[in-house]
Amino acid sequence: MMSADTFLKSGASTCTVELPEPRVLADGIEQSNRFRHVAAQHALLHQPYPDVVTVHDVVMRSARVFGELPAMGYRPVIRTIEETKERTRIVNGNEVKETKVMKFYELGPYQWISYKEMLVTVKSIASGLVDLGYSAGDKTCIYLPTSPDWQMFAHGCFAQSIAITTAYDTLGPDGLLWALNEPEIPIVFTTTDLFPMLTRIISQCPHVRHVVFKGNATPLMLADLAAAAGDDRLTILSLDELMLRGKLRPCEMRPPSKDDLCCIMYTSGSTGKPKGVVMTHANIVAALAGIDAVIPKLLGVGDRYLAMLPLSHSLEFAVESY
């Protein structure tokens, strides 16, 4: 297989091409010519494979083609280590000492999930969502750090034509409130580590009816979150409980079409309120087609990709989906 360095050096002059016709703005001012990847010089790419039209098709094809091969890996947290550290900051020209509790994690060896196992989990989540009363056209919010569960929950939604919205796990209360209320989210998938933030704003989220969580929740944590809603509308259940519902009452998948809403990705809110970017399945699949023009020259079966960006970022979501 060609190395990344060799590929980039050998193809530097042919990676992009300049299209011959100039673009003209509405006011008649001429722009510079457009540049495209050489694979798309004659037409934009729309599909990585003929049988992949939606993001849901990616999982179905991968399970069929790659089967027992590892799809995703993760390292479980063995224990959390907390250390108190003192640091000095300059505030208004004066040195101020403050202490901060730092968390470090001891991780176990990688555990792998095959493509077939992933599809089984996706189907259980999809059926569980239907059992809760959700169907095509509904939206969920994934408020969770990057993880295999993030991916599988998203694909469980897609299997029933349910769209996802994303919320960075670093959002403050105002940003999270906006990301839940603007799209009128009825169900949130999160982790117990983020319960404190969700508890702070849940009373101001009238549309949220279900919270699905990953992690260890104490009875007090569950009671606090339920009480914070201010009424009895909130049902809180673990991801395992959701999947059990799906296993006990399995239902047929209801795949989306290419023009259906796939996701609304909210920004990190660094310039004000988080902004929701609306993307259809065709939008994401077109990104996969672009990735397919490059990645096979660099990576192949047996290689590993390390997720560094948050899955709430469109590039990470597209690359991992590929």
Residue 162 burial (CB count, 10 A): 24
Q: What domains sit in the chain, N to C, each tagged with a CATH number?
A: 4-40 (no CATH), 55-72+112-321 (3.40.50.980), 77-107 (no CATH)
pLDDT digits (tens, 9 = 90+) for 209-219: 999 999 999 99
Q: Which residues pair with 257 in a beta bridge?
A: none
Q: How far apart are CA 206 and CA 198, in angstroms?
A: 13
Residue that the structure tokens 């239907």 belong to? 130
Model confidence at 76: pLDDT above 50: yes
Residue that the structure tokens 């992949």 belong to? 52
Distance of CA 136 to the CA centre of its chain: 19
57 residue type, one letter: D
pLDDT digits (tens, 9 = 90+) for 104-115: 889 999 999 999
pLDDT digits (tens, 9 = 90+) for 145-178: 999 999 999 999 999 999 999 999 999 999 999 9
Query: Quick one: pLDDT at residue 35?
Result: 82
Most confident range, picked from 13-17, 278-282, 293-297: 278-282
Q: Pick left, alpha or beta for residue 115 (phi over 0 → left; psi -120 to 50 → alpha; otherwise beta).
A: alpha
Model confidence at 187: pLDDT above 70: yes
Comparing CA positions, the residue from 163, 180, 181 lying closest to residue 278 is: 163
Burial of 321 (0-12, 13-18, 19+ CB in 10 A): buried
User: pTM of the predicted model, to two decimals?
Assistant: 0.87
Q: How far apart are CA 284 and CA 271, in angstroms?
A: 25
Burial of 244 (0-12, 13-18, 19+ CB in 10 A): middle
Structure token digits, residue 217: 């929740």
Q: How far apart are CA 195 and CA 27, in angstroms?
A: 52
Residue 286 burial (CB count, 10 A): 19
Structure token digits, residue 84: 């108190």
pLDDT digits (tens, 9 = 90+) for 238-294: 999 999 999 999 999 999 999 999 999 999 877 888 999 999 999 999 999 998 888
Q: Which residue has the higher pLDDT, 320 or 54?
A: 54
Q: How far apart are CA 309 and CA 156, in angstroms?
A: 22
Query: Quick one: pLDDT at residue 281?
Result: 98
**Mean pLDDT throughout 31-57?**
87
Model confidence at 2: pLDDT above 70: no
Mean of per-residue pLDDT scores for the chain? 90
